[in-house]
Amino acid sequence: MAAISRECLRGLDFLHSNHVIHLDVKSRNILLRTDGSVKLADFGLFAQLTPEQSRRSSVASISGWMAPEVVTGQAYGPKVDIWSFGIVGIEMVERKVPYWNETPGTAQLLIARGRRPQLRQPNRFSPCLCDFLSCCLQPDVMCRWSAKDLLQHPFVTSAKPASTLAALIILTKKKHEETRM
């Protein structure tokens, strides 16, 4: 998870430093190749910012991954991608998006009221991982870390090289192919 996080954050840092917001960060838009490389995909909703316009206000995201500022119709910047990536982090651990069982309206209401998604059993995971997710899922955008900051977080800096994912990806792909037969 740390290696995938590092690679995604490198991509987000690159986008954000070039004034681009992805706006659709979710697990299905993170591609893992058999060599272990990790790619962000599906830029259909991206927003290009300019020095004159460093924030947006249009809503073009999926409920479960939407940051509070998007849900409440406030102007937003690149940190909406960080919130969405925090949701992906919970999804990687729990195999389910927070509030997935709620109606989209209920999920949006919980997020709008500042209710931060949490791991269901945080004591099962390292304090470092829990802190990393907390840094991503800060309801106050000023407290939410940037991609550049998160690349320095101990959870990310402790990651093994992405190439170490190759064997796991190949094994998972093989198991998936066997179940399809």
Residue 32 belongs to domain with CATH number:
1.10.510.10
Cα 36 from Cα 98, distance rounded (Å): 27
Cα 17 from Cα 61, distance rounded (Å): 21
Concerning whether 24 is annotated as a catalytic residue, the answer is yes
pTM value is: 0.84
What are 82-98's pLDDT values in tens digits? 999 999 999 999 988 87
Cα 132 from Cα 48, distance rounded (Å): 27
Q: How many independent structural domains does the chain possess?
A: 1
What are 164-177's pLDDT values in tens digits? 988 888 898 888 88
pLDDT cut 90: percent of the chain above it: 49
In which domain, by residue range, is 37 found?
Answer: 2-180
pLDDT of residue 115: 72
What are 125-165's pLDDT values in tens digits? 999 999 999 999 999 999 999 999 999 999 999 999 999 98
Cα 181 from Cα 178, distance rounded (Å): 5
Q: Which of 13, 24, 81, 140 is catalytic?
A: 24
Q: Are 159 and 5 in contact (CB under 8 A)?
A: yes
User: Can you state the angle between helices 79-94 and 2-17, rounded to 10 degrees?
Assistant: 170
Q: Is the pLDDT of residue 57 over 50?
A: no
Cα 59 from Cα 53, distance rounded (Å): 16
